[in-house]
Amino acid sequence: MSNQHSQRWKTALILLGVIALVAFIDSKFLTWLFFGVVFSVGVFETLKLLNLKASKYLVLTLSLIWLGGYFYPNPPELIFLGAIFLASVVAYSHSIDIKSIALMFYPTAGILFVWSLYLSYSMESLLWLLVIVALSDVGAYYSGKKFGKRSFCPTSPKKTIEGVIGGVALATIVGAALISSKYSFLAAIIVAFFTSISSVFGDLFESYLKREAGVKDSGDILPGHGGVLDRIDGYLFASITLYIFLKALG
């Protein structure tokens, strides 16, 4: 086993251990704190990819949004207050780059929806999210390796159509089996399918940002894995889809 591969496994096991511990304790404050750390690192990685500075207005806005998300019953709504404030700063003083507003939606929106899933549907919904996104990725890798022939898109040339289909199929079947404990199997299939599709494009969007920035990874904080965004990219889109579908089901 190569040193890089060994390092990758060690990092993965540590991450899984931390996630399992947070899930087992299932404390609102600890979960909020954990996602807050992920959020903070993800924001600074996004700033780097977009070649933006961490202005005091942006840092203050994001900090207040995350703090407010602990108390406010519907955290994603705070994104719009933040966007309004930053747009006002841009218009009034031109002291920040207008691209800073993009941070309200990436990665802020995705992580706030992860947090909202926990608040509204408990830790179980985060397990669904974890399984669907992870299997979309793992299934795509092995399906692509065995059957992949046609490139999925120019943004990520190594992804294949066959791999994506295999990953979505696996994630849909297993995800639906988990979700059907709460909803009908048909509803579970629909939710798992669209959540999986969203995770594919979440991964693709981060690949696009990295290609535009001319970098291989979003960061180097996770040995063998790159940055935080490299690990959570699929979740940032999938969390939004899963939350909205669960809301629609009532």
The single-letter DSSP state of residue 149 is -
1 confidence band (pLDDT: 50, 70, 90): very low
What is the Rg, in whole angstroms, of the alpha carbon atoms belonging to the chain?
A: 18
Q: How does residue 4 score in pLDDT terms, banded at 50, 70 and 90?
A: low
What is the DSSP code (8-state) at residue 151? B
- Residue 139, token pair as written in the block: 């299934």
Residue 250: its pLDDT value, please?
86
Instruction: For residue 31, give the nearest of 22, 40, 44 by alpha carbon.
Output: 22
- Round to whole Å and give the CA distance between 115 and 1: 37
**CB of 42 closer than 8 Å to CB of 232:** yes
Gap between the Cα atoms of 71 and 125, Å rounded: 20
> 222 - beta bridge partners?
226
226: helix, strand or coil: strand
Helices (H), the chain: 3-25, 28-49, 56-71, 78-93, 108-147, 161-179, 185-213, 228-249
**Which two structure tokens, joined as six digits, stand for 87?**
């747009």
User: Residue 69 in contact with residue 156, Cβ under 8 Å?
Assistant: no
Q: With 90 as the cut, is the pLDDT of residue 157 above it?
A: no
Domain extent at residue 241:
3-249
Confidence at 12, pLDDT banded by 50, 70, 90:
confident
Span 23-48, pLDDT tens digits: 999 999 999 999 999 999 999 999 99
Give pTM, 2 decimals.
0.95
pLDDT at 5: 65
User: How far, CA to CA in Å, does 230 sit from each of 42, 85, 113, 233, 238?
Assistant: 9, 29, 18, 6, 15
Counted domains in the chain? 1
Q: So what's the pLDDT on residue 41?
A: 97
Q: pLDDT of 214-224, one tens digit each?
A: 999 999 898 88
